[in-house]
Amino acid sequence: MIRRLLAVLCCLAAVGGMAGCSAASPEPTAPPPTTSAAASIPADGVLMSALGFAHAPADFSVPSTSTITERVDQENTVVAVFTAPSGLDIASYLRRTVTEQGWDITADGNNSLLFERGDARGAFTVTGAFAALSIRYDEQS
């Protein structure tokens, strides 16, 4: 089940960024810098960097009660699979916080969110007892 969820998220991360993932790419794009508007995190949140993610946006947070069971942490993609809190609680947290962090929510429905900021694209989805978050970085022109 977790592998299927990771496969779905990897496919989501690849949509629109296939050229950025090819071997012909000279160098991976670095994560975007932190914006001053997003310098603080909510009292009920924790930075992904504090959870050991080296390539997550510096100011991106998730609920402080998060339990992450699977992870991908690469320069061009970050994926986290959660078993706690509930996916609906994480979705509610993200709806409340990503816009405060300077992200634009571009889709919200069926227990899934899509959001973007600069050259970064995020996706979140819930299925059964699992929820997953993916953030990918597009190449800059």
pTM attached to this predicted model: 0.74
CATH number assigned to the domain comprising residue 98: 3.30.310
Domain total for the chain? 1
Residue 24 covered by a domain: no
CA angle centred on 121, ends 96 and 118, rounded to 5°: 90
Give the domain extent around 73.
Answer: 1-19+65-141
Residue 141 confidence (pLDDT) above 90:
no
Residue 30 covered by a domain: no
Residue 96 covered by a domain: yes
Closest CA to 87 of 71, 107, 110: 110
Percent of the chain with pLDDT over 90: 68
What token pair was written down for 17? 């960024």
From 21-35, 73-87, 88-102, the region with the lowest mean pLDDT: 21-35
Residue of higher predicted confidence among 94 and 140: 94
Helices (H), 1-141: 2-14, 87-97
Q: How far apart are CA 58 and CA 141, in angstroms?
A: 22
**Average pLDDT of every residue of the chain:** 82
Q: Calculate mean pLDDT across residues 24-49.
A: 64
Residue 88 covered by a domain: yes
Cβ–Cβ < 8 Å for 57, 34: yes
